[in-house]
Structure 1
Amino acid sequence: MSQVITPSAAPAAALGRPRRDIGIKRRYAAERRFRAYGIAAILFGLVFLFILLWSVVSKGYTAFQQTMITVPVEFSEQLIDPKNERASNPQKLLTANYPVLARTAVAKVLGVAETDRTAMRDVGLMLSDSVRSQLRDLVVADPSIIGKTQTVQLLASGDTDSAFKGQINLSVTENNRKVSDRQVGWMNQMAESGVLAKHFNTGIFFNGASSRPEAAGVGVALIGSFYMMLIVLVLALPIGVAASIYLEEFAPKNRFTDLIEVNINNLAAVPSIVYGLLGLAVFINFMGLPRSASLIGGLVLTLMTLPTIIIATRAALKAVPPSIRAAALGLGASKMQTIFHHVLPLAMPGILTGTIIGLAHALGETAPLLLIGMVAFVANYPTTPLDPSTALPVQIYMWANEAERAFVERTSGAIIILLLFLIVMNVGAILLRRRFERRW
């Protein structure tokens, strides 16, 4: 039977099609706008990320170069040990006036008379105060060089280093800068002869804290951060995994366990400075543990990292299909065997990823470490976690408060080192996940 379209129905059918077309076009337009908003948000974030990295790298890459003055130094016996007492009194070698040896060596290269006190003072200002310990260590390590001449790379002062790197505007008047015109002329003279040159700065990785920027490094901070991360790994990983297994697999579902889960989620959002107050009250004031020690920092960061590891581990355990548990139990495995022989190995990629992310988060924390006294001036390497130490983010914080121009590049250089560590840890987490991940 054929359908008959009445005249009154024809306009309605004709009007319905354009209305549906308009609705589809609106939905497609809304989808395109949403995609455009998403792409714009990503580009917006990338632009600011690029600005951040550019500002840090452009100011900090010069920290990995250090200006050195390479000159032959005469280790004069008349100045170091005029009475030849070093055999009976080795301490005599520690008190010699080694900066005079350095100034004299540079003055000879420049052709400056030693009787010109003003010129000799300007020559001395071009050298770092650390040349004292540099030459002293050479003599103490090998007393046979006394009376001989040996070529030594002397560390230039922070002002000389900044001027040679172009960080000081030499076009301004001499009274408005720390480097005189005569010193600039000497710098050009030594640079042309190859005496003054930039070398790779190993000291930024191995030196400890110093009031002289050219001699300052993050060596002590790296050791302190290593001790703290080791303590966090040893304590937070087993405790966090054990707590997650109990809450996810064994704990009964009641109000008490629900309260624990809510508190764990809340602790993950607590500001880090609160953990610093907790560490100050419990570990230092109550337990009497040594202040500024890596042990205290590790314990505080362990408390801060535990919620992150617990949440990540529980998510990894939930991701294991229930069929794995059912199959193991059906074959006669106990609850403990099912978890440790089947569920936990399959959840290990997520657990390791959460642990590394938690460690990376702890590595960059500063606020809790400030409250437990890890802002001390520490020049010597800590041999144990109980020795005074500092951490890499705290070292960055301390350098950022220094007034000297040369500390600006040291601060940015330390930030670059910290970012490299964080990048390596996050890349490691991604590789571990891809290496052990299984798709169901």
Structure 2
Amino acid sequence: MIFRKKQKNKNPFYDPSLNARHRSSRIFKRFTLSSLVFSIAFLGFFLFDMITKGVPAFEQAYVKVLVSYNEETIQDPRKAIDRKYRGIISRAWTRDIPSHVRTNPELMNTTQEIWALTDDQVDQYLKGHYYKLKRKDKKLVDELKASGEIELKFNKIFFTNGDSKIPEYAGLKSAVIGSILTLTITMLFAFPIGVMTAIYLEEFADDNKFTQIIEVNINNLAAIPSILFGLLGLAIFINLFGLPRSSPLVGGLTLALMTLPIIIVSSRAALRAVPDSIRQAGYGIGLTKIEVTRDHVLPLAFPGILTGSIIGLAHAMGETAPLIIIGMIAFIPDSPTMVTDAATVMPAQLFTWAGMPERMYVEKTAAGIMVLLTVLISLNTLAIYLRKKLEVKW
């Protein structure tokens, strides 16, 4: 038997480890690709689960009934409806019958055919979810469904009502208004202070130990848990200054503390991206440092500053932990009209709904997350659009 020796590659530039390196590269590429696929699959599962649970909340069950408006039914609204329907109609809707008459006096001493809001258990039964209905009420609902006298309609209550202990009457309106007021306070304080701080540190401050310590602390503040800002807001704004608890004023100031590091860091990066030639040209024609910064550097850096500020605002809008500490997770059925009124925000409202035992709150929570994600994605899209629209390419 003849054994042949394995011939060696006589190329002087041949690297024996080349095959192993190529193999390692292929393995690493597959690993990164599998990580990407896993992330997309997880995101897809999350969106699918949220949409399938949340979409039914945008519809609500209504039943066609005769409602009698007279002195007796104003005193006892339950008597305004036929007895057989009382087990399937919402208690909250029945209690509002007197207010219907006050709003529309012409209804007095008349009988009207109206689409009345049903109980949450009827709603869940029609949607094929878990329900608790008496046998007679279930039979009545089936008969009404067959005759077309009960059906699912667009759930405007979800957008026009505040929070409620009655599931079918709960909505996001008070939380949305509370979020708007809170974020308005946040940006009124965080944006000017953050931008001016960035301008000072980047354009005017000397490079010494004091400014280095400030920079290190700003970077550290951007990474600490958000709940610590809630404790800071509780200690300063409520305990020290005595501002009203659970108000958009305190919530906005607390979120402003949390957003400041993000705005400062992003604004400094935008200022640093402006070429030094712009500054030197300004100095060459006799402008002062303030004039160069105000009239040339800041306008050119503004797209980046605006983008960072919008992203910081979106980050603040999704926060719950610091607002729980300052009491903005309270039951708020009515919309706040001033920044000192008691209020809640959308993330805190969803957190409250997620802990409620009724099945209807599950779909309302998912629908609220869809609304919140839509707002956050819109803000990020706006930031990207403004950055592309206003940026100056050198």
TM-score, structure 2 as length reference: 0.94
RMSD: 1.8
> Retained in 1: the 8 A contact 2:87–2:137?
no
1:341 to 291, 295, 308: 295
Alignment of 1:102-181 (within 5 A): 102=81, 104=82, 120=84, 123-168=85-130, 178-181=132-135
* Higher alpha-carbon deviation: 205-214 or 68-77: 68-77
Equivalent pair of 1:99/1:131 in contact (CA under 8 Å): no
Which residue identity does 1:62 align to in structure 2? P
Q: Helix, strand or coil for the counterpart of 2:243?
A: coil
Alpha-carbon offset, residue 19 of structure 1: 7.3
Seen in structure 2, the aligned counterparts of structure 1 residues 438 and 22 have a Cα distance that, compared at 3 Å, is farther
CA contact (8 A) 1:64 1:201 kept: yes
Following superposition, the deviation at residue 78 of structure 1 comes to 4.2
Aligned counterpart for 1:361 among listed residues 293, 315, 321: 315
Q: 1:417 pairs with 345, 366, 371, which one?
A: 371
Letter in 2 for 1:129: R
5+ residue gaps in structure 1? 1-12, 81-95, 108-119, 169-176
CA contact (8 A) 1:97 1:132 kept: no
C-alpha contact (below 8 Å) 1:139/1:146 kept by paired residues: yes
Cross-structure match for 1:98: 77
* Selected match of 1:263 from 196, 217, 225: 217
> Secondary structure of the residue that 1:20 maps to in structure 2?
coil
d(CA) in 1 for partners of 2:336, 2:98: 23
How far residue 14 of structure 1 moved from its aligned partner, in angstroms, is: 6.5
1:214 matched residue in structure 2: 168
Q: Aligned match of 2:279 in 325, 328, 336?
A: 325
Amino acid at match of 1:206: T
Instruction: Give the structure 1 partner of residue 195 of structure 2.
Output: 241
Give the distance between the partners of 1:58 and 1:224, measured in 2 at CA: 27
Kept in 1: contact 2:174–2:344 (CA 8 A): yes
Alpha-carbon contact 1:291-1:388 (below 8 Å) kept: yes
Q: Which is higher, the Rg of structure 1 or of structure 2?
A: 1
2:352 maps to a residue whose letter is: M
The answer to whether 1:202 aligns with 2:164 is no
Asked if residue 187 in structure 1 is aligned to residue 149 in structure 2, the reply is: no
Question: Is 1:72–2:34 an aligned residue pair?
Answer: no
CA distance in 1, matches of 2:275, 2:287: 17
- For this pair of structures, how many residues does the alignment match? 389
Deviates most, 249-258 or 41-50: 41-50
Structure 2: runs of 5+ lacking an equivalent: 1-6
Deviations 1:206-243 (A, max 9, x none): 21110011000011000000001111111111100000
Aligned AA (2:38): F
Output the amino acid matched with 1:255. Answer: K
Tell me which amino acid in the other structure corresponds to 1:68. Answer: Y
Deviation, structure 1 residue 125: 2.4
Q: How far apart, in 2, do the equivalents of 1:279 and 1:154 lie?
A: 45
- SS class of match (1:125): coil
1:61 and 2:55 equivalent? yes
CA deviations 1:318-357 (Å, max 9, x no partner) are 1111111112221222211111111111111111111111
Deviation at 1:28, TM superposition (A): 3.4
Alpha-carbon separation, structure 2, partners of 1:346 and 1:214: 51
Distance 2:43 2:126 in 1: 30
Q: Is the CA contact (8 Å cut-off) linking 1:369 and 1:394 kept in structure 2?
A: yes
The equivalent position to 1:41 in structure 2, one of 14, 35, 42, is 35
Tell which deviates more after alignment, 187-196 or 312-321: 187-196
SS in 2 for 1:312: helix
**Matches of 1:58 and 1:19 in 2, distance apart?**
60
Listed as ranges, the matches of 1:19-34 within 5 Å are 20=14, 22-34=16-28
Query: In structure 2, how many angstroms separate the alpha carbons of the residues matched to 1:397 and 1:331?
Result: 58
Aligned mates of 2:95, 2:298 — CA distance in 1: 55
Residue aligning to 1:51: 45
- Report the CA distance between 1:38 and its aligned residue: 2.1
CA distance in 1, matches of 2:185, 2:78: 42
TM-score by length of structure 1 reads 0.85
Rounded Cα–Cα distance in structure 1 between residues aligned with 2:284 and 2:20:
54
* Alpha-carbon separation, structure 1, partners of 2:48 and 2:268: 38
Change (3 A) 1:19 1:332: closer
Tell whether the 8 Å contact from 1:276 to 1:300 is kept in structure 2 after alignment.
Answer: yes
Cα displacement (A) at 1:394: 0.4
Q: Is the 8 A contact 1:63 1:409 kept in 2?
A: yes
Give how far 1:21 is off: 5.8
Contact 2:77/2:97 (8 A) holds in 1: yes
Residue 135 of structure 1: CA displacement? Answer: 1.8
- How many angstroms apart in 2 are the aligned matches of 1:67 and 1:138? 20
1:311 to 265, 274, 290: 265
CA contact (8 A) 1:98 1:131 kept: no
In structure 1, how many angstroms separate the alpha carbons of the residues matched to 2:360 and 2:8?
Answer: 78
Separation (CA, whole Å) in 1 of partners of 2:354 and 2:159 = 18
Q: Secondary structure at the match of 1:211?
A: coil
CA-CA distance at 1:417 after TM superposition? 0.9
**Distance change (3 Å), C-alpha of 1:22 and 1:151:** farther
